[in-house]
Amino acid sequence: MAITEERPEILELESGDTTSSTGVFARPTNATGWRAWLFTVDHKKIGIMYGVVAMFWFLWGGIEALLIRAQLFTPNGTVLTADQYNQLFTMHGTTMVFLVIMPLAAAFANYMVPLQIGARDVAFPRMNALGLWIFVFGGIFLNLSWFLGGGPDGGWFAYAPNTGVTFSPGAGMDFYALGLQIAGIASLVGAINLIVTIINMRAPGMTMLRMPVFTWMILVVQFLLLFALPVITVALILLSFDRTFDANFFNVSMGADPLLWQHLFWIFGHPEVYILILPSFGIVSETLPVFSRKPLFGYSVIVISGAAIGFMGWGVWAHHMFVSGLGPVGVAAFSATTMFIAVPTGVKILNWIATMWGGNLRFTLPMMFSVSLVSMFTIGGLSGVMHAVAPADTQQTDTYFIVAHFHYVLFGGALMGLFAGMYYWWPKAFGYRLNDKLGKWHFWAVLLGFNMAFGPMHILGLQGMARRHSRYGPEDGFDFWNAVVTIGAFVILIGMIIFAVNIVRSWLGYKEGTVPQEPADPWDGRTLEWAIPSPTPEHNFDYVPVVTDVDDFWHKKYQPDANGKLRKVADGNAIAQKGDQHPHLPSPSYWPIVLAAALPLIALGLIYNLWLTGIGLVLLLGSMFGWSLEPATDPDAGHGDHGDDHGPEEDGPDGNDKVEAETAEEAPVD
């Protein structure tokens, strides 16, 4: 909606806004069409784009997986060469981790966190767009390698010195190192933005311990990203310098210790595991209470155990390296810490079960996916504890048992939770529900296919089938279960096709009017995002909500009567905001996408021709200046600012806002 056209009454600028008119070019003003998406700074559009792009990569990563499974369907498969197989399993892992699960979590975080904390946008809307576009270009760059001499082939963890020029002479690993670097910048930008948003932009009365659990888990994840990404950045820089500039970091003949890479990678890589799973934990912590019609059992315990996982996640990385010659002391120490970290995870699972216990369960699609997360993740978590036992791990390392384990936590855990989130928040984002019948088919096909595909891998692993091998012989006795696994993988494909059909059909039905418009509060929800219309209006909240409790919206609807029994006192759809106010919003901008486009240029130049890098750097610096000279909110768009990029400093440094903000923390009346 073109807010600007509807608000002619506020045209004068605030005094002292002399820095405004320095933008170099005219700003984009389109409210509809593709330009409205390309140059948007709206956290909701950005969230949706994260989701769309991630689903595209999910399709591609899935195709990679199916090719791998086709190769392994029979002994001595001939679908792929060994080299192609290496590239495919490397890119399958890299794609699913960096281009699917992380951005899907970013999609939910971008869309939902501002809504859940009662904000109109994130702290830095343009930086939000920048994060999206860097991610988009990073993904494209990474996959350009397919057309420029073959994909990376060193595994997603790229152990040195396998990734050096000697053993991986193609450009694939260069694309890996630089592509992940770009994706890392995107995540860092997004992480800082969300941290500041959550710390600083909560609605009045929403103290930290009144925040929805999803927002809490996203906060923990952003801190993990903030502190873990620099480590992988350095590791990738060392790798790039080795490959591009002939440095010696992983050159064993110069005395290098290849374990340095493994340490640096897993110091990042283990927090990364929690970066992948915690958003889904947050999602099910939202859905389970709603569909059990009970408050979350032990809210503060869930929050604290989430934060504890975040901290302890830093002390367990070397359990990925038990057979690398770590030495007995190191193995014992990291074995102990790894067993320890199962405690807060187990606490969460017990809390979810206790939430459902005795609840008035509604088995809607989000609920079904949530329950499947709890059960499937538990299986993966238990096999994870098995790996903590170093002697057992010595047997299981580099076998399909490990593959089974991390697919149970990442597919059965993270992805199931993300699907729960999709079905749960679809009405909020798009105004209609996905078809329930097709959704149930999707659920059962995925659950069945998932267990067929990854359950037998436990057996294969214990039988001794090594991972990352393109072939096994007929005499190995792996053929039956491998055939089952491959069939399971294609059952998952069927489930995903049903999901795609569901999206298209529900959308067409909504356009035609056969799928009904959903009200503000279709699930009888508990958190603030359900107190505004569906789909979310562009400005989110008509009025800034003042919060007095955890699950504040629920308490607006249900209150104890004289006997202390909870009674419904209001209908959520009736008391939801109407979306009819038009507060100020930050203006769209060209700069995020322009700045982001400079990064793949720089990276391509580092591989092929440094002149290209020079052009990229000029573009980068130029767009940085253009960016900083452009005010966050276009003064010509008719009105001032709602506090996004500036915060209270517009008031001058005399501290009035501090006083207000302190009362903000104390505002709630109990």
Partner 1 sequence: MTDVAESSTSQLAYGPTDWDDHHHLPTNTGLTNEKITMWAFLGSDCLLFGSLVSTYLLLRNRVGPSTRGPTAADLFDIPFTSVSSFVLLMSSLTMVLAVTSIQRAEMERCKLWLLTTAALGSIFIAGQVYEFTGFYREGLGFTTNISSSAFFTLTGFHGVHVSLGIVMLVTMWVLVSGGYLGPDRAETIEIIGLYWHFVDIVWIVIFAVVYLIP
Partner 2 sequence: METVAASEEDTHAEHHDHGLSDVGYIKIAIILGVLTAVEVATYFWDFGILEVPSLLILMVVKFQIVVSYFMHLKFDSKVFSYLFVTGLVLAMAVFAAMGTSMVFWQDPSGCDASSFC
Interface with partner 1 by CB under 8 A: which range of 225-233, 347-355, 357-365, 375-383?
Answer: 225-233
Q: Which 6-35 residues touch partner 1, going by CB under 8 A?
A: 14, 16, 18-19, 22
Tell me the DSSP string of 67-121.
Answer: HHHHHHSSTT--SS-HHHHHHHHHHHHHIIIIIIIHHHHHHHHHHHHHHHTT-SS
Using rule CB under 8 A, residue 233 touches partner 1: yes
The full length of the chain comes to 670
Using rule CB under 8 A, residue 329 touches partner 2: yes
Number of H helices, E strands in the chain: 22, 2
Q: Do residues 290 and 298 lie in contact, with contact meaning Cβ atoms separated by under 8 Å?
A: no
Using DSSP, state whether 49 is helix, strand or coil. helix
Burial class (CB in 10 A: 0-12, 13-18, 19+), 12: exposed
Interface with partner 1 by CB under 8 A: which range of 337-345, 404-412, 445-453, 662-670?
Answer: 662-670
What is the distance of C-alpha 605 from the center of its chain? 29
Q: Which 110-149 residues touch partner 1, going by CB under 8 A?
A: 123-124
* The Cα angle at residue 148 between residues 142 and 149, in degrees rounded to 5: 110
Quick note: the x/- pattern for partner 2 over 155-194, rule CB under 8 A, is ----------------------------------------
Q: Which 343-382 residues touch partner 2, going by CB under 8 A?
A: none
Using rule CB under 8 A, residue 649 touches partner 1: yes
* The Cα angle at residue 436 between residues 571 and 534, in degrees rounded to 5: 40
Quick note: the x/- pattern for partner 1 over 492-531, rule CB under 8 A, is ------------------------------------x--x
- Comparing CB distances to partner 1, the nearer of 272 and 641 is 641
Which two tokens mark 217? 């888990």
Instruction: To the nearest 10°, report the CA torsion of 378, 384, 388, 391.
Output: 120
Rule CB under 8 A: choose which of 68, 171, 221, 326 binds partner 2: 326
Q: 558-560 and 566-568: which strand pairing? A: antiparallel
In the complex, the smallest distance separating the C-beta of residue 329 from partner 2, rounded to whole angstroms, is 4
Q: Which 253-282 residues touch partner 1, going by CB under 8 A?
A: 253-257, 260, 264
| CA–CA distances in Å: residue 226 to residues 98, 186, 193, 332 | 15, 11, 10, 29
Task: Give the Cα separation of 424 and 421 in Å (integer).
Answer: 5
Contacts of 55 (CB under 8 A, 6+ apart): 104
- Comparing CB distances to partner 1, the nearer of 476 and 645 is 645
- Comparing CB distances to partner 2, the nearer of 94 and 262 is 262
Residue 330 binding partner per list partner 2, partner 1, none, with a CB distance cut-off of 5 to 8 Å that depends on partner kind: partner 2
In the complex, the smallest distance separating the C-beta of residue 595 from partner 2, rounded to whole angstroms, is 25
Q: Which 630-669 residues touch partner 2, going by CB under 8 A?
A: 655
Residue 245 binding partner per list partner 2, partner 1, none, with a CB distance cut-off of 5 to 8 Å that depends on partner kind: partner 1
Using DSSP, state whether 470 is helix, strand or coil. coil
Using rule CB under 8 A, residue 249 touches partner 1: yes
Rule CB under 8 A: choose which of 51, 204, 212, 449 binds partner 1: 204
Helix axes 591-607, 125-144, angle to 10 degrees: 30
Using rule CB under 8 A, residue 583 touches partner 1: yes
Using rule CB under 8 A, residue 257 touches partner 2: yes
Amino acid identity for residue 382 in this structure: L
Task: Give the Cα separation of 447 and 415 in Å (integer).
Answer: 11
Rule CB under 8 A: choose which of 544, 566, 610, 618 binds partner 1: 544
- Report which of 438, 448, 376, 434 is spatially closest to residue 406, judged by C-alpha positions: 376
Amino acid identity for residue 623 in this structure: S
Quick note: the x/- pattern for partner 1 over 601-640, rule CB under 8 A, is ------------------------x--x-----------x
- Comparing CB distances to partner 2, the nearer of 192 and 617 is 192
Using rule CB under 8 A, residue 357 touches partner 1: no
Using DSSP, state whether 258 is helix, strand or coil. coil
Using rule CB under 8 A, residue 307 touches partner 1: no
Task: Give the Cα separation of 335 and 316 in Å (integer).
Answer: 8
Rule CB under 8 A: choose which of 5, 78, 147, 245 binds partner 1: 245
Using rule CB under 8 A, residue 479 touches partner 1: no
Q: Do residues 472 and 74 lie in contact, with contact meaning Cβ atoms separated by under 8 Å?
A: no
- Comparing CB distances to partner 1, the nearer of 268 and 443 is 268
Positions in the binding site for partner 2 (CB under 8 A)? 199, 223, 226-227, 231, 257, 259-260, 263-264, 267, 314-315, 318, 325-330, 655
